[in-house]
Structure 1
């Protein structure tokens, strides 16, 4: 059985956030007919769904988290190499994201993170096998 993953995040500006993720190489977006959401495939089984804040609050039934003072989630994505980890985070920072510092090397695990334009925390990681 294949299980697909859908990462849903609230954003301030749908077009700007979509452009940020396109700069990371996530293309092929599908906007919702009502213009409140957009889906971007991250790979064959994982989709990123960006929602304007009011639409996200409507789905969850609660206020959107203030990413300046708290974290609702850390999204971690696997990379094929340490070099790809650095490349993806560097691309995120070049597109306006904020780095979380140098990579963390814990033996077989290498990880590096950033915050996107809306303050959501992401990390790319490579696990040597």
Structure 2
């Protein structure tokens, strides 16, 4: 049997849900209000792709582990694929204008173009465009 997920929900702890919502809306993302409340916001990344932005206290209700200090540690990198280099630049440029932090240098490998940032809570995000016509067989 091959497992194939119907949805993905990445859960991220944040210090201030309202500020995180404003940040991601300024970049151009939407939220699903049906799965959002005062402590949680459902960030829509794509069809059936979501990031649950949760106040740290709410997040702690889902795990017995400590929340890592994102100033010094990384537990995951959220990488999203988009349909053009221009969209990569638009998203990351908007993120930077709205308080994001530099993460890595731009990568341009010909077939793949990507940029990175850290959000307000220093979670790592990569925005990538892959041009299938330039991938060597």
TM-score norm. by structure 1 comes to: 0.91
In structure 1, the partner of 2:39 is 36
The match for 2:10 is 7
Q: CA-to-partner distance for each residue in 1:1-55, whole Å, 9 max, x for gaps?
A: 66211111000001001111111211234223xx221112122211111110111
- Give the structure 1 partner of residue 135 of structure 2: none
Aligned to 1:63: 66
- Alpha-carbon distance between aligned partners in 2 of 1:29 and 1:22, rounded to the nearest angstrom: 12
Tell me the secondary structure at the aligned position of residue 83 of structure 1.
helix
For the 8 Å contact 1:82–1:110, the answer to whether it is kept is: yes
Q: Which moved more, 1:11-20 or 1:93-102?
A: 93-102
Q: Any unmatched runs of 5+ in structure 1? A: none
Task: State which structure, 1 or 2, has the greater radius of gyration over its C-alpha atoms.
Answer: 2
Runs of 4+ in 1 over 6 A off after TM superposition: none
RMSD (Å) for aligned C-alpha atoms: 1.5
Unaligned runs of 5+ in 2: 133-137
Task: Find the aligned partners of 1:60 and 1:21 in 2 and give their Cα distance.
Answer: 25
TM-score norm. by structure 2 comes to 0.86
